[in-house]
């Protein structure tokens, strides 16, 4: 059977999706990146293959996430797209008339506005990671609660405690203060969710019109407390898609399918065996001119696969992979 692969390598998690020709998710993997994107992709591929009960003929592969270029070279991607576009595509597929996408991932959060199936505006958090998955993770650890149960705790609360959510550091000291005062853990957790939602709406969504249908996705969407807080603040239902945690990967699989069908090209996929290969990455400064570009190099079994980062292009490897994934040219016909 024909399948399409989507790989989303972010700062915190690496997600893979196997999608069939009808855009249905047939297998998915959510694993930690742990600062080693290549190893995470290889591990993810192994885990994905273990979920198959039949052989799939991979017809297209898409890469996204902050490590998309590196990933594109390793797996042999047909499309390399930014995570904003990938998330919007997946949300549109799940809820065709979606008008707002709230996405909170490991270290970044985004808001995407769509009208009539076209992205019209977006924003992404900049220097502050308060309210993202890493922060919630850290707080769960501090409270001694598994992150998976964070939402259940929040739902048991009748009224959230007031927590200052403007800054992660202050939110944490405020939570400690509330604990010392004897507030119930449930109320503190719900209060944290409420303050993070307030922070998200006041910063990221500032000046933007949020209208329904609203889709909430990303790892943090698993937290029922966050859903409840968003619904209370927005006064409307917030839809959490079934594959909310791997929407970026799903979006990139859809983009890969569209690309392969449009161009009629054979996929560049290198096969699941890449998980067995040994990759080496390194970097150096080019001394060719005053630009002093930092070049990242990636090698497999002694062969240079790609070099990124030179302005003039003199270090570019003339291979199909690097050409395909390095230079997305936006030409409108």
Partner 1 sequence: MKLTTPHMGTVEYLLTDLFARLGVDYMPPPPTTQKTLRLGLQHGPEFACLPLKLTLGNLIEGLDEGADATLMVGGCGPCRFGYYADIQRRIIKGLGYDYEAIVLEPPAHDFRQFVATLKHIAPDKSYRDIWNAFKTGFRKAQAYDRVDRAAIETRCYETERGATDRVREQAQALLAKTWSHHEVIEAETAALRLFDEMPRRDVTPLRISLVGEFYLLLEPFINFDIERYLGERGVWLERSVYLTDWIGPGTKNPVGGHPDEEVARFAAPYLEYRVGGEGQATVGHTVMARLHGHDGVIQLLPFTCMPDTIAKAILPTVSEREDIPVLTLIVDEQTGKAGVHTRLEAFLDLLVSRRRARAAASA
Binding flag, residue 127, partner 1 (CB under 8 A) = yes
261 lies in the binding site for partner 1 (CB under 8 A): no
Task: Pick between residue 302 and residue 313 the one whose CB is nearest to partner 1.
Answer: 313
Are the CB atoms for 294 and 282 separated by under 8 Å? no
Contact call for residue 55 and partner 1 (CB under 8 A): no
Q: Name the one range near partner 1 by CB under 8 A: 124-132, 172-180, 212-220, 246-254.
A: 124-132
Residue 278, judged by CB atoms within 10 A of its CB (0-12, 13-18, 19+), counts as exposed
Q: Which stretch binds partner 1 (CB under 8 A): 71-79, 82-90, 169-177, 266-274?
A: 82-90
Q: Answer whether the bond into residue 42 is a cis peptide, omega within 30°.
A: no
163-to-135, 148, 178, 191, 194 alpha-carbon distances in Å: 14, 21, 8, 6, 8
Instruction: Please select the residue that binds partner 1; options are 8, 83, 172, 174, rule is CB under 8 A.
Output: 83
Question: Under the criterion CB under 8 A, does residue 321 sit at the interface with partner 1?
Answer: no
Gyration radius from the chain CA atoms: 21
Nearest CB to partner 1, comparing residues 141 and 292: 292
- Distance, in Å, from the CA atom of 40 to the CA atom of 236, rounded to the nearest integer, reads 37
Task: Work out whether 56 is an interface residue with partner 1 (CB under 8 A).
Answer: no
CB atoms within 10 A of CB 283: 12
Query: Where does this chain touch partner 1 (CB under 8 A) — which range of 20-28, 119-127, 152-160, 230-238?
Result: 119-127
With binding defined as CB under 8 A, does residue 313 bind partner 1? yes
Nearest distance, CB of residue 115 and partner 1, angstroms: 9
Q: For residues 201-220, which are near partner 1 according to CB under 8 A?
A: 207-208
Q: How far apart are CA 63 and CA 254, in angstroms?
A: 11
Which residues are 80's β-sheet partners?
Answer: 63
Token representation of residue 112:
């995407």
Q: Which of 124, 129, 164, 304 binds partner 1 (CB under 8 A)?
A: 124
81 in contact with partner 1 (CB under 8 A): yes
Tell me whether residue 92 or residue 240 sits nearer to partner 1 (CB atom).
92
**169/312 with CB nearer partner 1:** 312
Task: Quote the CA–CA distance of 58 and 272 in Å, as a whole number.
Answer: 10
Using CA atoms, how far apart are residues 295 and 286, in angstroms rounded to an integer? Answer: 7
31 bridge partner residues = 14
Report how far residue 63's alpha carbon sits from residue 77's, in angstroms, rounded to the nearest whole number: 6
Of the pair 116, 158, the CB lying nearest partner 1 is at 116
Q: Which of 12, 119, 212, 304 binds partner 1 (CB under 8 A)?
A: 119
Residues 293-312 that bind partner 1 (CB under 8 A): 311-312
Distance from CA of residue 57 to its chain's centroid? 25
Residue 51 or 291: which CB sits closer to partner 1? 291
The count of other CB atoms within 10 Å of the CB of residue 137 is 16
Question: Is 120 or 276 the residue whose CB approaches partner 1 more closely?
Answer: 120
Nearer residue to partner 1 within complex by CB, 64 or 223: 64
Interstrand relation of 79-80 and 57-64 (parallel, antiparallel or unpaired): parallel
CA 153 – CA 175 distance, rounded (Å)? 15
Part of the chain binding partner 1 (CB under 8 A), chosen from 81-89, 161-169, 219-227, 295-303: 81-89
Dist. CA 28–CA 89, nearest whole Å: 17
Taking CB under 8 A as the criterion, the residue among 121, 237, 261, 278 binding partner 1 is 121
Interface contacts to partner 1, rule CB under 8 A: 66, 81-85, 116-122, 124, 126-127, 207-208, 290, 292, 311-313, 327-333
């Amino acid at each position: 059977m024909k399948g399409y692969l989507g790989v989303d390598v972010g700062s915190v998690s690496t997600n893979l999706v196997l999608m069939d020709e009808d855009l249905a998710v047939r297998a998915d993997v959510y694993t930690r990146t742990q600062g080693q994107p290549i190893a995470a992709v290889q591990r993810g591929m192994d885990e994905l293959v273990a979920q198959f009960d039949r052989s799939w003929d991979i017809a297209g592969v898409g890469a996204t996430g902050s490590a998309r270029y590196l990933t594109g070279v390793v797996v042999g991607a047909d499309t390399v797209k930014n995570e904003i576009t990938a998330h919007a595509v997946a949300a549109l597929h799940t809820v065709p008339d979606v008008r707002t996408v709230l996405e909170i991932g490991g270290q970044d959060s985004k808001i995407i506005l769509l009208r009539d199936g076209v992205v019209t505006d977006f924003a992404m958090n900049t220097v502050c990671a308060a309210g993202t998955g890493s922060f919630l993770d850290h707080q769960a650890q501090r409270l001694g609660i598994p992150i998976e149960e964070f939402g259940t705790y929040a739902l048991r609360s009748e009224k959230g405690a007031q927590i200052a959510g403007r800054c992660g550091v202050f939110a944490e000291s405020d939570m400690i203060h509330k604990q010392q005062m004897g507030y119930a853990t449930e109320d503190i957790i719900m209060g944290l969710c409420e303050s993070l939602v307030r922070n998200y709406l006041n910063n990221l969504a500032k000046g933007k019109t949020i209208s329904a249908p609203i889709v909430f996705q990303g790892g943090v969407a698993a937290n029922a407390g966050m859903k409840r807080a968003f619904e209370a603040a927005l006064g409307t239902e917030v839809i959490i898609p079934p594959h909310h945690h791997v929407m970026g990967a799903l979006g990139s699989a859809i983009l890969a399918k569209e690309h392969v069908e449009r161009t009629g090209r054979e996929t560049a996929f290198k096969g699941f065996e890449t998980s067995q290969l040994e990759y080496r990455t390194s970097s150096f400064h080019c001394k060719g001119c005053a630009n002093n570009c930092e070049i990242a190099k990636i090698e497999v079994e002694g062969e240079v696969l790609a070099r990124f980062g030179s302005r003039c292009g003199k270090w570019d490897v003339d291979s199909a992979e690097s050409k395909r994934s390095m230079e997305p040219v936006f030409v409108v016909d």
